Chain A
Amino acid sequence: MKEDQVPQDKENLNEGKLAKLYYATDEKGHYKKVNSVGWEPETVAMQQAWDVVNNEVEEARLKVIDGKASPVLYYLKKNIMDVSMVASYVGTLGVIVRLHTIPYFFSKLSKKTLEKYAYTFRISVEEFTDIERLKQKHAG
């Protein structure tokens, strides 16, 4: 890639925080370092991966509001985790985490377990157990 071909696509997901370093060639074919603000194909692929995540989060949110799943499912999806990953953070088995995604079992959880979940999801216990909050998310 020649240095003037280094992509500078303004539409990107870098929030102005990141201009990646590229190695590109000068007119003689020798390498130099050039920064790039973004590249469309990469942005498309990244956005696509996030669309999948966001869809799953929204699905989980609706389930929780309908009383078909507990906040564990919502925050699990929101943090792009899976059952086994949450289980190793909380220090339990995947099966148990799966049970906790069911509202009945969730309502039986001890304060200590709730705290572990809340810590894993980087929120407070109040926020974690507050289903009303999830309803408002839709409006916002």
Chain B
Amino acid sequence: MQVNFTHKQSAHCESGVISNLMRFHGLDFDEPMAFGIGSGLFFSYMPFVKLNGIPVVTYRIWPGFIFKKFSNRLGIKIERRKFSSTTTAMTELDKMLDKGQPVGMLTSVFYLDYLPAAYRFHFNAHNIIVFGKENGRYLVSDPVMETTTDISYEDLVRARFAKGMPEPSGRMYYPVQLPGEYPLEKAIWTGIKETSDRMTTIPIPLFGAKGMLYLSKRLRHWPERLGNRKSILWLGNLIRMQEEIGTGGAGFRFLYAAFLDQSSALLKNDELFDISKQMTTNGDLLRDFAYYAGRVCKNRTSDTKTFSELADMLEACSQQEQKTFTQLYQVSKSK
């Protein structure tokens, strides 16, 4: 059973799945719109939460959040299900496919064999859409891929029931009720307000622009605190979290800037375009940081001077983000 499904590639999996699923149901939202309305942008650095011994840094909001906010703001009803039995999870999926309904789901990239091997770590919150079944294989629209692909029953079971943190537990979701009319303008402003508020006003120094400043302070002392090998590893992790599938620090800034750009055209608001340009600059700063950090990793030598320079770059990013989002909050406050 195969439905008429149009796949468009996206930069980020969650916003990409939203965009592709909604398009199927007749609501045309480009990826940046989905990301912006769902308030996807964020930053946090929590040195006490570690994955494989390396502190977690994230340039986006927690998985699942974007979809939830997006559908709430537009009045779309989403049915979400999770399963304890793999067989039930797969039969329920088949039932939906028989009805011609594409289904979004959480997977672990480790079991998605169509991805390049280098990307396949145990990242368990990757969103994909399964839209059909052909010769016993499931047809997959993975938002980060250029075209659609397919996966075997067994691999899909493994991907949907991967263990570790977080466990997908066969989670799947699909819209059940779509609004005839939706408050687009209001949804955009609410999305903007939440993101800019969160980036600037959370009174804990681990989150938002402050979080970036905090990271820069910590990073400055990595060489003397951690030694050469570890500081290079931790730095490499910053780049990976910034650029890899499902994440992308600078990438998220550009994605958000694209959202502001599109919103500015839609709402005929020039201020938003000005802020979009600022966001572009912020993204470029983060890219420069990654570029420089990449060179440090390549040479494998960490000295206090280079780390101090890297910290300065991050500090500058933090100040810029604080400035941009404060301004964005001012613009959105009255709307």
Which residues on A are within 8 Å of B, measured CB to CB?
Answer: 1, 13-15, 17-25, 29-31, 33, 35, 39-42, 44-50, 52, 79-82, 85, 88-89, 122
Contact = CB atoms under 8 A, between A and B. Distances in A.
Q: Which of A22, A42, A52 gathers the greatest number of chain B CB atoms within 10 Å?
A: A42
A35 B146 contact: yes
Q: Which of A14, A15, A17, A19 gathers the greatest number of chain B CB atoms within 10 Å?
A: A17
A45 B294 contact: yes
B285 to A, nearest CB: 11
B11 A29 contact: no
B122 A1 contact: no
Nearest to B245: A20
Given A25-B280, A31-B262, A18 B236 contact: no
Interface residues of B, number: 51
Contacts of A79: 110
Contacts of B284: 1
B40 interface: no
A23 B294 CA distance: 21
B117 A15 contact: yes
A74 B52 CA distance: 17
B276 interface: yes
13 contacts: A15-B118, A17-B116, A21-B11, A22-B254, A23-B255, A41-B291, A41-B294, A42-B290, A44-B236, A44-B239, A45-B297, A46-B244, A48-B232
Q: Which of A21, A24, A25, A50 gathers the greatest number of chain B CB atoms within 10 Å?
A: A21
A46 B233 contact: no
Nearest to A85: B164
Contacts, number: 119
Contacts of A23: 11, 32, 251, 254-255, 257-258
Given A35-B146, A42-B239, A52-B233, A21 B254 contact: no
A21 B144 contact: yes
A126 B293 CA distance: 45
A41 B239 contact: yes
A32 to B, nearest CB: 8
B321 interface: no
Contacts of B1: none
Interface of B: 9-11, 32, 52, 110, 114-119, 121-122, 144-146, 158, 163-164, 232-233, 236-237, 239-240, 243-245, 250-251, 254-255, 257-258, 261-262, 273, 276-277, 280, 283-284, 287, 290-291, 293-295, 297-298
A21 B10 contact: yes
- What are the 4 closest A-B residue pairs judged by CB atoms, nearest first? A41-B294, A13-B118, A31-B258, A45-B239
Contacts of B293: 41, 45
Contact of A42 (B243, B258, B273): B243
Given A42-B240, A42-B244, A48 B297 contact: yes
B273 A29 contact: yes
A46 B122 contact: no
A31 B237 contact: no
A44 B146 contact: no
A30 B264 CA distance: 10
A1 B237 CA distance: 22
